């Protein structure tokens, strides 16, 4: 019997050993990955450390950027997101009025997914639809 014939007869066993080696390598690599650290980022509440009134600085910054260029999509998205975060932490009625005014002035842009997401977030938070 030659080597080629022997390998052809043992091909099932060779394939099983190769699969065992590959799966063992995959398991070793998965054990090295820290999934818990990544999952804890998803479980944290981004508003947990925010006290009432601490979102004012972000809101004031967004207001200033929006006042300078109200037609630019980036300040529009920043303004809507800051209003939404401020409303979720404090929730005064004045923010609802301001958010409705900004939403009335902003129109969705088919090319700007960030602006569209900010509009959807603000509409959901302020229940304008």
Which residue range forms the structural domain that includes residue 111? Answer: 49-125
**36 and 84 belong to one structural domain:** no
Q: Is 84 helix (H, G, I), strand (E, B) or coil?
A: helix
Q: State how far the alpha carbon of 20 is from the alpha carbons of 6, 7, 10, 12, 45, in Å.
A: 21, 18, 15, 12, 42
**65 and 114 belong to one structural domain:** yes
111 vs 95: CA distance, rounded Å? 28
Q: What is the pLDDT of residue 25?
A: 92
pLDDT grade for 18, boundaries at 50, 70 and 90? very high
Stretch among 92-96, 113-117, 119-123 having the lowest mean pLDDT: 92-96
What angle (nearest 5°) sits at the alpha carbon of residue 74, between those of residues 68 and 79? 70
**69 and 31 belong to one structural domain:** no
pLDDT grade for 16, boundaries at 50, 70 and 90? very high
More confident residue, 59 or 91: 59
**121 and 79 belong to one structural domain:** yes
Q: What is the pLDDT of residue 122?
A: 82
**33 and 58 belong to one structural domain:** no
**114 and 56 belong to one structural domain:** yes
């Amino acid at each position: 019997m030659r080597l080629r014939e022997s390998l052809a007869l043992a091909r099932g066993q060779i394939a099983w050993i190769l699969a065992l080696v590959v799966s063992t390598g995959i398991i070793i690599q998965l054990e090295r990955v820290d999934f818990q650290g990544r999952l804890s980022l998803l479980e944290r509440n981004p508003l947990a450390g925010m006290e009432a009134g601490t979102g004012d600085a972000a809101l004031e910054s967004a207001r200033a950027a929006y006042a300078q260029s109200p037609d630019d999509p980036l300040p529009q998205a920043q303004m809507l997101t800051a209003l939404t975060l401020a409303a979720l932490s404090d929730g005064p009625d004045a923010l609802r009025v301001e958010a409705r005014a900004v939403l009335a002035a902003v129109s969705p842009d088919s090319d700007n997914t960030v602006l569209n997401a900010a509009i959807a977030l603000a509409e959901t938070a302020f229940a304008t639809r």
